[in-house]
Structure 1
């Protein structure tokens, strides 16, 4: 039996939106990791106030890209600067379509002169591999899917993050001394009782930390070492629920809709992609509904990636981004601080709603109508309310602007996009993104 393609799914559904629209879709949470260890509130506070351990080993899709043309294929299809990309460094890799819409981002680590590791949501990996095959680049690929899609066996790599104000103290305890000072998104080799792996300088929600990456055969030993050394410091393991929330504070919008569904020139790409991959199965839902999939596309400028774009080299989508960088009408990324009383009334039914997580595209409105759309929403206990990352029109992006989030699930095709469905409104105030001051100022400047 032939494996159905993404294009097959679109054709059968009648449109990309009909394929993807799923009201009340369950939000994604990491595989294998327990939903909670100490409770999501305690776990959130750990990386703000103490030290937290996060296990990323099971939900990352890894693709190794090796060969004489490895740098060329990545540079030809990504906006990033490859002229200053050292071995041991990592970057947020950003590929775009010919129209300048983001495919998705990923973490790209340079492991050798002609060898890279691209990790994260696999849409970027698919994009690079397809264009490498079609363009005849001299590269090879090795993939290790996330545990949910792996056909048995263990991951190739472990990934543990140590985050929070006490992170460096814990790391010093584990290794017997501070590890070498490392620039943000650069890695340094480390050894623990004869076991070699790498420490990537990384952080979340503006807090200090490292991501430790190494062969799976060392996973249990390294994990236990952190747990044991962290016990006197009150180390908290972070479960799947809390793990999904720091991006709301740090300003990273996960898994935007890839801009690949409508362009006739990408028909062959859609036929190459499997239907049951991320591009065919990541659902759309919320109170914002449009029959046109392009209304869900985003520009890297809207996501705050303008500084990553290096126009000093030719790349796929460069001309479109040159035009877009002067477009004053592009939406702005902001944080919406939802009114706590409205959160209890609308989401909690008058009570504390508890954990809240949504990747729904909810309408953001002012008295004059539609002003934007939410991208990710989560309860942030240290803040005392629910925050939402949103893209809003420039006229409504100023801090202090009062807006409303329309909380509900549009049923999809068959109902007018702007139908009055009686959905309640949650008052909100616009604040900067990243919301965390340290992530927005000192932390970002130091990187």
Structure 2
């Protein structure tokens, strides 16, 4: 492991300005307006385009063994037609990468956002192959999502359990419908051949008109992760790969995705340290301890067994004091006041891990990330990894807003549960009123 002092120059490079906007991946900044779009997944539904996320198909008798060796998850009882949230860690139990793994055959799986698995496979030792491919990954999310999908597919989808998938037909084309809920609401990810994407998208938008569907623009692209507590790679933590042991993996990533490090691995905010590992997170800290299965061997098992038995930090939601937030915005209209860093609305869009230190009685007890304004709650929120003793809802804390060397402000906040919004993603579809348009 690289020493703490060796990290200083590298950390300085992580605070340089980004050259691209993270939200550009979702297309236009907004279709109607960001407030309207951000309300959609709680009141009606939206369709959003996540096709830019990479996919890798693994085939061979050792495909599942590969993922068992590198994931905190067990591959036992992993059924064909099932997906699971997989997490890869380093030996210290800090997350390198996480994503979704779908089992599509006896010896065949598809990994979404798991480049680490391809890297490990390429090093040898497994009887399997890996092939990157493109496909649509449209998210249809919200209370009305099931009705829109049934209308456009012309069949019931009530049989699709949470984190299960099967094939349906939209606009005459086969589509894999994976039921998931990244918004904490009813939702599906719709995967298809890229060449049919526009036709499928247009058919969904047309079918969803009567159900109040909205198209999701980039400005609200990650707001649902904040409200529903889905901590995100590069936004809520840095991947645990910035050390000598992972130099070859960084080179692999740079080759596979040119410009990746220049664009997305950037930090900002009041939190400071000379050790880059302080921006790493474990599954336990992010509330994913239930994914860790200690009944098999995997990278990071020993460290995570200890942490799971005696957790030091957990994740919560911080509700920012509205008067303090309004005062920060008001300073932009008061001549002579030093201007603080601007709180982008509805949230930071440049791809920084914007991390602010959280204090209690002057001592740092946590790190706040993913600050964003929720029009649904009419509050400024953030996620926060916090010391266990201060994690109870109602605990009053103070966070420091502003980059080092810039005017900084104290913002009062109150600890609340994460997810802050009620999680309805696993609702029983058979209890919902039927869609009357089906024969």
Correspondence for 2:122: 133
Q: 1:22-421, aligned counterparts within 5 Å?
A: 22=16, 28-31=22-25, 33-57=27-51, 59-120=52-113, 124-125=114-115, 127-144=116-133, 156-255=134-233, 256-262=237-243, 264-274=244-254, 276=258, 278=260, 281=263, 282-328=265-311, 330-347=312-329, 349=331, 355-358=345-348, 359-410=353-404
Give yes or no for contact 1:433–1:440 (8 Å, CA) kept in 2. no
Equivalent position SS for 1:288 = coil
Unpaired segments ≥5 residues, structure 2:
334-341, 432-439
Correspondence for 2:434: none
Equivalent position SS for 2:204 = helix
* Deviation for aligned residue 1:87: 1.5
Q: Deviation digits for residues 164-198 of structure 1, max 9, x if unmatched?
A: 11112222221233224211111021023531111
Partners of 1:365 and 1:171 in 2: how far apart? 46
After TM superposition, the score normalised by the length of structure 2 is 0.86
Equivalent position SS for 2:382 = strand
Give yes or no for contact 1:344–1:353 (8 Å, CA) kept in 2. no
Partners of 2:380 and 2:402 in 1: how far apart? 16
Partners of 1:270 and 1:54 in 2: how far apart? 30
* Deviation for aligned residue 1:161: 1.6
Equivalent position SS for 1:325 = helix
* Deviation for aligned residue 1:389: 0.5
Structure 1 residues 379, 26: closer, same or farther in 2, change over 3 A? farther
Give yes or no for contact 2:181–2:425 (8 Å, CA) kept in 1. no
Paired residue total: 408
Greater alpha carbon shift after TM alignment, 69-78 vs 273-282: 273-282
Give yes or no for contact 2:187–2:425 (8 Å, CA) kept in 1. no
Q: Deviation digits for residues 3-58 of structure 1, max 9, x if unmatched?
A: xxxx9xx99x964323322368876214151100111110011111112111212x
Partners of 1:386 and 1:134 in 2: how far apart? 45
Q: Deviation digits for residues 135-169 of structure 1, max 9, x if unmatched?
A: 4222222224xxxxxxxxxxx31122211111122
Q: Deviation digits for residues 237-292 of structure 1, max 9, x if unmatched?
A: 11011111001111111012112223x44444445443855456510111001111
Equivalent position SS for 2:36 = helix
Partners of 2:88 and 2:189 in 1: how far apart? 24
Structure 1 residues 94, 230: closer, same or farther in 2, change over 3 A? same
Partners of 2:426 and 2:413 in 1: how far apart? 23
Greater alpha carbon shift after TM alignment, 430-439 vs 397-406: 430-439
Q: Deviation digits for residues 351-409 of structure 1, max 9, x if unmatched?
A: 89771313401111122311110121111100101110010111211100111121101
| RMSD value, Cα | 2.7
Correspondence for 2:408: 423
Equivalent position SS for 1:174 = helix
Partners of 2:330 and 2:193 in 1: how far apart? 44
Unpaired segments ≥5 residues, structure 1:
1-6, 145-155, 412-420
Structure 1 residues 334, 356: closer, same or farther in 2, change over 3 A? same
Partners of 2:76 and 2:330 in 1: how far apart? 51
Equivalent position SS for 1:103 = strand
Matched, 1:438 2:423: yes
Give yes or no for contact 2:398–2:413 (8 Å, CA) kept in 1. yes
Q: Deviation digits for residues 205-264 of structure 1, max 9, x if unmatched?
A: 3211211111112212211111111112221111011111001111111012112223x4
Structure 1 residues 353, 315: closer, same or farther in 2, change over 3 A? closer
Partners of 1:321 and 1:69 in 2: how far apart? 25
* Deviation for aligned residue 1:315: 0.9
